[in-house]
Amino acid sequence: MNAELVTELEAPLQQTTTSTRARIVSALGPIAALGGVIWAVVQPYRVTLLHPMGQGFWWLFVEPPLLVVAVGLFFYFVITPGLLRDLAEDHATAE
């Protein structure tokens, strides 16, 4: 069997293994967003979009549960990729 072929077959398996740190970091954003959704369901009176009663734009736009969801999504899509790259580089230099 060709050694180059075996190396190519094993390479994807090595790249798919992730550390516990990487899994935790990648789960932080979705957990925060889920927490915001749960907060909005448990305390629906905090989301005045459901019953605006003459509230202005900023009162409707700046809702704590919605901000928590937005921050969770921002963390997941903007911050997490860089952190995962740094963790992968750190893991590669440690080996």
Q: What does the pLDDT read at residue 76?
A: 97
Domain hosting 89: range is 19-94
Q: Which of 23, 40, 28, 26 is nearest to 72 (CA)?
A: 28
Greater model confidence, 51 or 93:
93
What domain count does the chain have?
1
Q: Would you say residue 11 lies in a domain?
A: no
Going by pLDDT thresholds of 50, 70 and 90, the confidence category of residue 38 is very high
Render pLDDT for 68-90 as a digit per residue (tens, 0 to 9). Answer: 999 999 999 999 999 999 998 88
Q: Is residue 14 part of a domain?
A: no
Contact criterion met (CB below 8 Å) for 87 and 25: yes
Whether residue 33 is contained in a domain is answered as: yes
| pLDDT at residue 2 is higher than 70 | no
Distance CA 46, CA 37 (A): 12
Give the pLDDT of residue 37. Answer: 94
Residue type, 49: L
